[in-house]
A and B are shown apart, each in its own frame.
Chain A
Amino acid sequence: MKRRSVVKYAAVAAALSLGLTACGGSGSSDAKGSGTVRVTLANHVWTEGIKAAIPEFEKSSGLKVELTQLGEDQLSDQYNVKLNAGSDEIDVMMYRPLQEGKAFAKNGYLADLTSKVSSDSNWDWKDYQEGPVKATTADGKVVGVPIITEREVLYYRKDLLKAAGLEVPKTMEELEAAAKAIKAANPDTAGFVARTGKSAAVTQFSSFLYSFGGDFTDSSGKSTVNSDAAKKAYAFYGGLIKNYGPANVSTDMSWPEAMAIFTQGKAAFYTEADSLYKNATDPAKSKVADSVGFAALPAGPAGSKPYNIPSWGLAVNQASANQDNAWKFIEWATSKERTLAAQKAGVPGPRASVWANSEGTSTYPKDLAEAIAVSAKNGVGHDRPQVVTVGKAREIVGEPIVASITGADASAAADSAHEAFQKFLDSEKK
């Protein structure tokens, strides 16, 4: 490590960690500009597939891959410290375009890949779906390559629906009625479960918001979280959980907790990202693996409008001295063959050609593939406010969700969230 970067690194680490737990070690960095590509990835099914295939890449390219794998929060913290310090210890980074993309691009952490993506027609950048491409483009420059896409779908229990003599709900009203009926018939089983944590729930709530005709902001960037549509969506989402959700529902659930309730057989309906479906259909993880069904998000007053987003992408660290080799890794990891292989392993990808290929959906439950196809068509390209400090924005717009779940006045909460959100948006414009 160069002396200057030691000082900068220490400065940032110090600034960020005084009184907090110390940050992890920095690892070796003698590989600068050399034949070693340092790749940082999140824990994800996609990562598992790539990890297994890396020897193949090392053999064909003659490069060595040094892999760091971290949980989502740890990953984000690592980036905050290392990229902030201008560290060159990361070459390729897996990041969340909608969560960190704007902030990273604004801070100049991401290398411009515009000329690289168009250099090889075989690799084919045009093959990428439009929404995901938009999310990894900043100020007209391509700064990342999407790898995983997600849409919100309805997970349901076929056996419970059959026992209650119900059809798969097509509208929000039908969903509510079915949740009510099933909860009434089975007191131990929740009619509906979904994320409840203030920040965690925002992404899944967004599809309800769009389906009721709302959004977080209007076209001029002003807050609309207290519009009539938004208020109805808040009341509906929270009401479903409050009235038909699990007993003693907590307000801290993210997907692992909500998924656990569903896979333990304690809920009839669950709305969640399609990319997590394996958790529900894998008999090793799910008690209800053989009775899980999938459907497109039920339609609200404005139709069925789930989000359709790239949840993860790969980018190159601007400070890396090894950018060409980093790109070689990305090119390989996102090639048509690799994307197809990942998709077959259960990771919905961003390539149109893979979706068009019948092999690309061959391993999916049939009803899930259909739901994905429908959702991809009328989906919305974001699932959270599109701002720089997404973490803070999520906490603000998530407030009424929690209020609604706990039975407080959702409409009043939406009004105060609107005020706070507008103030926040103004502060970001400065």
Chain B
Amino acid sequence: MTSPRSAARNSGRAPNGREKFSDWANAHRKWLFAAPAMAFVGVLIVFPLAWTLYLSLTDSQGSVRAATEFIGLENYLTVLSDVERFWPAVGRTLTFTGIALVCEVVLGMGIALLLWRPFRGEKWVRVAILLPLVATPVAVGMMWRLIFDPNIGFANQLLAAVGIPAQPWLSGQDTALGTTIFMDVWQWTPMVVLILLAGLTSLSEEPDEAARMDGANAFQRFFFITLPLMMPTVIVAILLRGIDALKTFDILYATKGKGGGSFHEVETLNVYAYGLSFDYNQYGLSSAVLILFFMIIIGSMWLLTMRKKAVSK
């Protein structure tokens, strides 16, 4: 592309170095401005993904520098036929995400509705609700782990005070996953509240008022007016929280350690892949799990965005 200025100059004298560069920069400006972003995406997203994909097709283990052999899809076959660790981990990942999401959205919507209309002490309540959000997940995990300790934990002492026998909470094979879901809900509901509250405050009040004039009660107004109008926001909240919940790692690792406990009771795909890499040093296998995991995430997010488009129309 020639700018009028450089065209004029070209007719006269020969351009010097600086002008040459600025011409070149001008001509390539769309690439120049995008370059940092592209480098960022390349180094931090494309390259790791490609490398993981490559590793997943090799028998890499022990050390990633050791000689590896290309073994095609063997790792994927191994993983997909693994009913002891992989499939239960997929199940747990989906259970964890599903239950946590439903609880967080329902609770979040409830709290957001309560906070919607101004009331006295509103500021304090908002601060209190946001507190869990600012805590580090690992610290949150450690804190709950202490509270739920079967012998010296606060939770069981509280139960004992009201005459209920001690519960296994985190230590039980059947209760551990539920307890970690509770922790996730405790920590992340505030974020859903924030998103939904933002959505609620931006709604126009006319439809609600009109419905009120027509004699609709609170439930009717919520289910037939507010909720449908809120749907795009709700789906955004589900998207954001869903991605995060799927890849939850810290609170699971902080409370149950490697392998998700002695019976793998909270081992999700993320915890499983971590164990394969850092405990077993099976990088090929671990990469295959991560690629499959990546595909699950992309798949579910795609479904959700499709749904959002449908709703927005």
B55 interface contact, C-beta 8 A:
yes
Question: In the docked arrangement, what's the CA distance between A240 and B173, Å?
Answer: 20
Interface residues of B in 169-183 (CB under 8 A from A): 170-171, 173
Inside 8 A of A398's CB, which chain B residues have their CB? Answer: 262
B26 interface contact, C-beta 8 A:
no
Of B211-219, B275-283, B299-307, the stretch lying at the interface with chain A is B275-283
How near does chain B come to A237, taking the closest CB pair, in angstroms? 14
In the complex, are the beta carbons of A20 and B263 less than 8 A apart? Answer: no
Inside 8 A of A86's CB, which chain B residues have their CB? Answer: 65
16 CB-based A-B contacts, threshold 8 Å: A14-B47, A15-B48, A19-B273, A19-B293, A19-B294, A20-B270, A107-B63, A197-B257, A248-B150, A252-B262, A264-B152, A266-B152, A388-B62, A389-B281, A391-B279, A395-B259
A246 interface contact, C-beta 8 A:
yes
Q: Identify which of A15, A108, A254, A392 contacts B280 (C-beta below 8 A).
A: A392
How near does chain A come to B180, taking the closest CB pair, in angstroms? 13
In the complex, are the beta carbons of B47 and A248 less than 8 A apart? Answer: no
Q: A10-B47, A389-B62 are in contact. List 19 more A-B contacts (CB 8 A).
A: A11-B64, A14-B48, A14-B52, A16-B277, A18-B294, A19-B290, A19-B294, A20-B273, A73-B258, A86-B65, A103-B281, A108-B63, A197-B257, A199-B258, A257-B149, A264-B152, A266-B152, A389-B280, A402-B263
Inside 8 A of A17's CB, which chain B residues have their CB? Answer: 48
Inside 8 A of A198's CB, which chain B residues have their CB? Answer: 259, 262-263
Residues of chain A touching chain B, judged by Cβ–Cβ distance below 8 Å, are: 10-12, 14-21, 73, 76-77, 80, 83-86, 103, 106-109, 196-199, 246-252, 254, 257, 260-261, 264, 266, 388-389, 391-392, 395, 398, 402
Inside 8 A of A10's CB, which chain B residues have their CB? Answer: 43, 47-48
In the complex, are the beta carbons of A11 and B62 less than 8 A apart? Answer: no
In the complex, are the beta carbons of B261 and A251 less than 8 A apart? Answer: yes
How near does chain B come to A399, taking the closest CB pair, in angstroms? 9
Q: Identify which of A16, A106, A254, A264 contacts B283 (C-beta below 8 A).
A: A16
B151 interface contact, C-beta 8 A:
yes
In the complex, are the beta carbons of A15 and B55 less than 8 A apart? Answer: yes
Q: Identify which of A15, A85, A196, A391 contacts B51 (C-beta below 8 A).
A: A15
Interface residues of B in 144-167 (CB under 8 A from A): 149-152, 156, 166
By secondary structure, the B interface counts as helix
How near does chain B come to A195, taking the closest CB pair, in angstroms? 11
Q: Identify which of B149, B150, B249 contacts A20 (C-beta below 8 A).
A: B249
In the complex, are the beta carbons of B249 and A21 less than 8 A apart? Answer: yes
Q: Identify which of B166, B280, B281, B294 contacts A248 (C-beta below 8 A).
A: B166
Q: Which residue of A lies closest to B50 (CB)?
A: A14
Q: Which residue of B lies closest to A107 (CB)?
A: B63
Question: In the docked arrangement, what's the CA distance between A199 and B260, Å?
Answer: 11
In the complex, are the beta carbons of B278 and A266 less than 8 A apart? Answer: no
How near does chain B come to A131, taking the closest CB pair, in angstroms? 26
Question: In the docked arrangement, what's the CA distance between A17 and B279, Å?
Answer: 13
Known: A19-B294, A391-B280. A251 touches B51 (CB 8 A): no
In the complex, are the beta carbons of A84 and B64 less than 8 A apart? Answer: yes
B241 interface contact, C-beta 8 A:
no
Question: In the docked arrangement, what's the CA distance between A359 and B287, Å?
Answer: 53
Question: In the docked arrangement, what's the CA distance between A199 and B275, Å?
Answer: 12
Q: Which residue of A lies closest to B60 (CB)?
A: A15
Inside 8 A of A252's CB, which chain B residues have their CB? Answer: 170-171, 256-257, 261-262
How near does chain A come to B82, taking the closest CB pair, in angstroms? 13
Residues of chain B touching chain A, judged by Cβ–Cβ distance below 8 Å, are: 43, 47-49, 51-52, 55, 62-66, 149-152, 156, 166, 168, 170-171, 173, 247, 249-250, 256-259, 261-263, 270, 273-275, 277-283, 287, 290, 293-294
- Tally A-B pairs: CB < 8 A: 123
Q: Which residue of B lies closest to A196 (CB)?
A: B262
**Shortest 9 CB-CB contacts between residues of A and residues of B:** A250-B171, A14-B48, A391-B279, A248-B150, A107-B63, A198-B262, A251-B262, A402-B262, A392-B280
Question: In the docked arrangement, what's the CA distance between A84 and B173, Å?
Answer: 35
How near does chain A come to B260, taking the closest CB pair, in angstroms? 10
Inside 8 A of B270's CB, which chain A residues have their CB? Answer: 19-20
Inside 8 A of B65's CB, which chain A residues have their CB? Answer: 84, 86, 107
Inside 8 A of A73's CB, which chain B residues have their CB? Answer: 258
Question: In the docked arrangement, what's the CA distance between A84 and B274, Å?
Answer: 16
Q: Which residue of A lies closest to B150 (CB)?
A: A248
Question: In the docked arrangement, what's the CA distance between A252 and B169, Å?
Answer: 12
Q: Which residue of A lies closest to B271 (CB)?
A: A20
Which of B52, B247, B256 has its CB near the most chain A CB atoms (within 10 A)?
A: B52
Q: Which residue of B lies closest to A257 (CB)?
A: B149
How near does chain A come to B140, taking the closest CB pair, in angstroms? 14
In the complex, are the beta carbons of A77 and B278 less than 8 A apart? Answer: yes
Q: Which residue of B lies closest to A198 (CB)?
A: B262
In the complex, are the beta carbons of B64 and A18 less than 8 A apart? Answer: no
In the complex, are the beta carbons of B55 and A80 less than 8 A apart? Answer: no
How near does chain B come to A261, taking the closest CB pair, in angstroms? 6
Inside 8 A of B273's CB, which chain A residues have their CB? Answer: 19-20
Question: In the docked arrangement, what's the CA distance between A249 and B173, Å?
Answer: 12
In the complex, are the beta carbons of A251 and B48 less than 8 A apart? Answer: no
Inside 8 A of B49's CB, which chain A residues have their CB? Answer: 18
Question: In the docked arrangement, what's the CA distance between A47 and B89, Å?
Answer: 38
In the complex, are the beta carbons of A19 and B62 less than 8 A apart? Answer: no
Q: Which residue of B lies closest to A12 (CB)?
A: B64
Q: Identify which of A76, A103, A247, A251 contacts B166 (C-beta below 8 A).
A: A247
In the complex, are the beta carbons of A248 and B156 less than 8 A apart? Answer: yes
Question: In the docked arrangement, what's the CA distance between A10 and B280, Å?
Answer: 21
In the complex, are the beta carbons of B262 and A15 less than 8 A apart? Answer: no
Q: Which residue of B lies closest to A392 (CB)?
A: B280
Inside 8 A of B156's CB, which chain A residues have their CB? Answer: 248
In the complex, are the beta carbons of A21 and B250 less than 8 A apart? Answer: yes
Q: Which residue of A lies closest to B260 (CB)?
A: A252
Inside 8 A of B281's CB, which chain A residues have their CB? Answer: 80, 103, 389, 391
Question: In the docked arrangement, what's the CA distance between A73 and B279, Å?
Answer: 10
Question: In the docked arrangement, what's the CA distance between A251 and B273, Å?
Answer: 22
Inside 8 A of B247's CB, which chain A residues have their CB? Answer: 19
